Structure 1
Amino acid sequence: MTVATSRAGSTAHPEPAGIDNRIVVGGTPLTWRALPELTLSAPAAVLAHGAADALAAARHHATHGTELLLSGAGRVDAALRAELRDAGFALTELVDGESRDEAPTRVRAADPGRLWLLTSGSTGRPKRVGHTLDSLTTVRGEQPARTWLCPYAPGTYAWWQVVTLSLTQPGQHLVVVEQDQLDDWPALAAAHGVDAASGTPTFWRRTVYRDAAALARVPLRQITLGGEPVDQAILDQLRALFPAARLSWIYASSEVGAAIVVHDGQAGFPVQWLDRVVPGRPALSVRDEELVITSPYHGAGLDGAVRTGDRVQVVGDRVVITGRLDADEINVGGSKVSAGLVRDVLTAHPGVAWARVTGRRAPMLGRMVVAEVVPQPGTDAEPPDEAALVRWCADRLPEHAVPRRIRMLTEIPVKETLKSDV
């Protein structure tokens, strides 16, 4: 056990079980143990400019238990910095191992062992959700040796899911993708033996769109999707590229943790999982088309049933997550349209790589359905035009749900969170 103290004097914990796992940052092989030792005041809000700094902060928390909020520096604006200092956090901005510190404007006692996550902010300003390393560590059983790709922004729930796996499990190695490497990550992954990767559907779509042949050269045995609604089209594309890999999608959030895990290669989850009570497992239900989850992996103060804000629909024997309640429903002349289901119809077209569906003001109807589409590259046929896609939708959707305007884009948009449409 390494004995050390943080600047605030918290004592060290036993070394994490994965401390000697290999990690690759910016193409440089390291280990968790080889990361630089940080000195942090507690409570600490660490704003990291690079992957190595973020990983060093995670290791510091695992070995010292210092109360920590970790985020990529780009996600924290001036107003949020002031808010964190007012909440008692000492700000430490890390740039290539060098730190710039700002003292809190309100001093308070630290809460040892507490980890804070910032929500994605898709429904407003990011909120703080409290966790511990234990509540973020949802993979506990023995795992086959893997080298995982981590493309997520530091400090997000998805980032912590991959990072805790490597920290707590021997044999779970890590290759971290910096933001400026996202376009070429398959070459990095192939060079360092990545055989497991987790990303949003947008991340996977964008990779297939840019260079499916380069992706196919990565020896993936485990493919995981999460963070956005998962449709059948992207699952089928990945299955075609990697027929022998295990294909999983996960519903997880800062509030309820990793609550749904599906491995059968189908979008949605079985309707039989609703209202099922299994000790130690999340309980799923639907109220007014909203997914409600009671989870043992919840954030601090969120025990009991949590309304997720995500809209679901039962389609056959599956429960399909279509999108956020406040964004998914479009009222067209009094008829409700699910933007997510229209999006899934568009992405099911073999000539469509990506689609986003929204509502636009319209005379008489109030709103009409419109879409943005990125055509699929490398197909033998001509890419579909607007008229062809309207006909495709008209054959599969009620008349009021058919997009009236479809704009073609040349690139799949992506945010720092690896999401594009929430």
Structure 2
Amino acid sequence: MLERRDSYASLIRDFRWNIPERFNIGTAVSDRWAASDPGRTALLDYRAEGEAQRLSFGELAARSNALANGLRELGVRRGDRVALLLPQSFETAIAHIAIYKLGAIAVPLALLFGMEALEYRLQAAGAKSVVTSAAGLAKIRRIADRPPGLELIVSIDGADGEAIDFHRLVADHSPHFSAEDTGPDDPAMMIFTSGTTGPPKGALHGHRVLLGHLPGVQTHHEFLPQPGDLLWTPADWAWAGGLLNVLLPGLYFGVPVVAGRFEKFDPEAALGLAEKMRVRNAFIPPTALRMLRTVPDIGRRFRLDLRTVGSGGESLGRETFEWARAEFGITINEFYGQTECNLVLSSCAAIGVSRAGAIGKAVPGHTVAVIGEDGQRMKAGEAGQIAILRPDPVMFLGYWQDEQATAKKFIGDWLTTGDQGIEDEDGYVHFFGRDDDVITSAGFRIGPGEIEDCLTGHPAIALAAAVGKPDAMRTEIVKAYVVLKDGTAASEALAEEIKLWVRERLSAHEYPREVEFIDEMPLTTTGKVIRRIFRDRARAEAGV
């Protein structure tokens, strides 16, 4: 656990990992607090109308124990994969903890997935059981070919034919359970990659992954926990960002976590939740922050009590960084990682590690570099691939049943991210896109994130995507796909105004030479723009 230091240098110098020989995520985030402070608030379930419901650590430990007993009686064993298809809720946290205590492997899946996406992941994971809601159960029943190994369905919305009632299972079993004796490298969870650059792969993590996340969580929340801290994120808890940046670290540190059920991110509703629940610490992905920019008069209409806001998942960008500082009166602490090795770079304004347009610096305990194809570090200012040195507690065990793909992820002992960046003279890492996202135009390598951030600074634009369109003269030109704010009409004049807006703020080689207005922006379940769709569209337009 990090302690407050006067400087980043002292944190790096003094930090040492302390990974115990035996460790179980389930007991660490519930039983530990239940023993010392059972009445302490663990979770708050937000309701737009009425008071929020509260769950204590004592109740969390007892209910997860009861569910573990029930699942074991139904045949769930150590190493079995148990899928979770659930919204943010008490039941989601209880199910995760029960699975870890059983020594089984949690497979979180997003409710936004369609039937084909669900079928693929259930089959790839070899899931034996699933804990879900009525909405998730309806999707599972629509899968044409039910995964043959899926034997047990537990529903948080009551028994329904083949589904077993979650709450009855908890009520009917003992609140006492002896967790499996697990080590830090024993499998705990399988999180599927987003699939933006290829078929999703199941990244398998050991119980140590939670400990590996803690320094990064503490830095971007400026030495969490502090008195009065309260965590919330609009990110799905099925995503590594929601689960491992918020839910599990919050419980580990004894900081209450807010569960808010939103089928789709609504900026007004999100601000209402933050105001009502008096959220102090939030993880808000860049796309969600850009959507908040569309809400007028935030300071006048909402009384917020934010102490820290972290943002990650894609590049935040200078425009959004500066807007958030002016609007909320705090500095957004950007951070970076990916499903296989999350939260390895971070900003921390409290110790002076903050720079607009940069992700941050290496989190204490992690060795991060920008490397070339030969695995050698690039010089300051030279572009290369962001990579993390193994061994590292936050690093995945490997891709599920795919040793070849796991091996390809490494150059020597460097885990490669597929993300392009540079490290400046001061050690800040600047991210400018995945290999497939980088635009090559007239000899320049251009990251789409900065262009998209600049575009969303335009008063008429809600969301934007920038991709390279093949061009005979320049190799590629920048093309922008834009969703306008409500009440704004598309026109040629507006398109020209948008081009000029970017040209004046960035450079002559980065502005979009083509602007296309669209009605809706396709996003992944983690809130990232699916640029692949637009790359394919632009290539088709160019006849490639």
TM-score by length of 2: 0.63
Measured on the aligned residues, the alpha-carbon RMSD in Å equals 3.8
Corresponding residue for 2:5? none
Corresponding residue for 1:290? 385
Separation of aligned partners in 1, 2:444 and 2:332: 36
Evaluate the alpha carbon distance shift between residue 55 and residue 96 of structure 1 in structure 2; reply closer, same or farther with a 3 A threshold: farther
Preserved CA contact (<8 Å) 1:331 1:337? yes
Separation of aligned partners in 2, 1:320 and 1:34: 44
Corresponding residue for 1:163? 247
Instruction: Find the partner of 2:132 among 94, 97, 112.
Output: 94
Evaluate the alpha carbon distance shift between residue 240 and residue 126 of structure 1 in structure 2; reply closer, same or farther with a 3 A threshold: same
Comparing 350-359 with 224-233, which one deviates more in the overlay?
Answer: 350-359
Separation of aligned partners in 2, 1:209 and 1:396: 20
Instruction: Find the partner of 2:285 among 180, 200, 204.
Output: 200
Does 1:262 pair with 2:336? no
Corresponding residue for 1:79? 120
1:106-158 Cα offsets, whole Å, 9 max, x none, are 9xxx9955222111222122211122333223226762141111222233211
Instruction: Find the partner of 1:190 among 262, 265, 275.
Output: 275
Separation of aligned partners in 2, 1:291 and 1:327: 14
Instruction: Find the partner of 1:121 among 181, 192, 195.
Output: 195
Corresponding residue for 1:392? 501
Corresponding residue for 1:44? 81
**Higher strand proportion (structure 1 or 2):** 1
Separation of aligned partners in 2, 1:403 and 1:98: 41
Separation of aligned partners in 2, 1:95 and 1:376: 34
Separation of aligned partners in 2, 1:316 and 1:394: 27
Shift of 1:204: 1.2
SS of alignment partner, residue 497 of structure 2: helix
Preserved CA contact (<8 Å) 2:42 2:251? no
Comparing 387-396 with 154-163, which one deviates more in the overlay?
Answer: 387-396
Separation of aligned partners in 1, 2:306 and 2:443: 47
Q: Which amino acid letter does the alignment assign opposite residue 455 of structure 2?
A: L
Corresponding residue for 1:139? 214
Corresponding residue for 1:29? 53
Separation of aligned partners in 2, 1:407 and 1:315: 34
SS of alignment partner, residue 182 of structure 1: coil
Residues 364-403 of structure 1 mapped to structure 2, 5 A cutoff: 365-374=474-483, 385-395=494-504, 399-403=508-512
Evaluate the alpha carbon distance shift between residue 294 and residue 112 of structure 1 in structure 2; reply closer, same or farther with a 3 A threshold: closer
1:36-89 Cα offsets, whole Å, 9 max, x none, are 54343131322323222322222213544333222224434223222222xxx3
Separation of aligned partners in 2, 1:212 and 1:119: 37
SS of alignment partner, residue 225 of structure 2: coil
Evaluate the alpha carbon distance shift between residue 336 and residue 284 of structure 1 in structure 2; reply closer, same or farther with a 3 A threshold: closer
Q: Which amino acid letter does the alignment assign opposite residue 120 of structure 2?
A: A
Shift of 1:299: 0.9
Preserved CA contact (<8 Å) 1:360 1:367? yes
SS of alignment partner, residue 468 of structure 2: strand
Preserved CA contact (<8 Å) 1:331 1:366? yes
1:370-391 Cα offsets, whole Å, 9 max, x none, are 1123567899xxxx82212222
Evaluate the alpha carbon distance shift between residue 353 and residue 313 of structure 1 in structure 2; reply closer, same or farther with a 3 A threshold: farther
Separation of aligned partners in 2, 1:306 and 1:16: 34
Instruction: Find the partner of 1:130 among 189, 204, 207.
Output: 204
Comparing 332-341 with 226-235, which one deviates more in the overlay?
Answer: 332-341
Corresponding residue for 1:224? 310
Instruction: Find the partner of 2:262 among 168, 179, 189.
Output: 179
Does 1:148 pair with 2:231? yes
Does 1:346 pair with 2:441? no
Q: Which amino acid letter does the alignment assign opposite residue 125 of structure 2?
A: L
Corresponding residue for 1:323? 433
Does 1:305 pair with 2:379? no
Preserved CA contact (<8 Å) 2:370 2:423? no
SS of alignment partner, residue 210 of structure 1: coil
Preserved CA contact (<8 Å) 2:321 2:331? no
Separation of aligned partners in 2, 1:279 and 1:235: 23
Separation of aligned partners in 2, 1:224 and 1:71: 23
Evaluate the alpha carbon distance shift between residue 365 and residue 289 of structure 1 in structure 2; reply closer, same or farther with a 3 A threshold: same
Shift of 1:290: 1.3
Separation of aligned partners in 1, 2:247 and 2:366: 22
Evaluate the alpha carbon distance shift between residue 340 and residue 82 of structure 1 in structure 2; reply closer, same or farther with a 3 A threshold: same
Separation of aligned partners in 2, 1:149 and 1:270: 21
Corresponding residue for 2:103? 65
**Higher helix proportion (structure 1 or 2):** 2
Shift of 1:405: 1.2
TM-score by length of 1: 0.79
Evaluate the alpha carbon distance shift between residue 307 and residue 371 of structure 1 in structure 2; reply closer, same or farther with a 3 A threshold: same
Shift of 1:199: 1.7
Evaluate the alpha carbon distance shift between residue 247 and residue 16 of structure 1 in structure 2; reply closer, same or farther with a 3 A threshold: farther
Shift of 1:294: 1.7
Separation of aligned partners in 1, 2:136 and 2:198: 32
Separation of aligned partners in 1, 2:250 and 2:505: 44
1:291-346 Cα offsets, whole Å, 9 max, x none, are 11226221114783111111114578653201111112x23466544333433443
Separation of aligned partners in 2, 1:385 and 1:63: 57
1:189-211 Cα offsets, whole Å, 9 max, x none, are 22122111102100111123135
Corresponding residue for 1:240? 326
1:229-271 Cα offsets, whole Å, 9 max, x none, are 121111111111221x353111021212210011244234499
Matched residues, percent identical? 21
Evaluate the alpha carbon distance shift between residue 216 and residue 263 of structure 1 in structure 2; reply closer, same or farther with a 3 A threshold: farther
Separation of aligned partners in 1, 2:304 and 2:236: 22
Equivalent residues, number: 397
SS of alignment partner, residue 83 of structure 1: helix
Q: Which amino acid letter does the alignment assign opposite residue 449 of structure 2?
A: G
Shift of 1:351: 6.0
Shift of 1:353: 5.0
Corresponding residue for 1:3? none
Comparing 16-25 with 385-394, which one deviates more in the overlay?
Answer: 16-25
Unaligned runs of 5+ in 1: 1-9
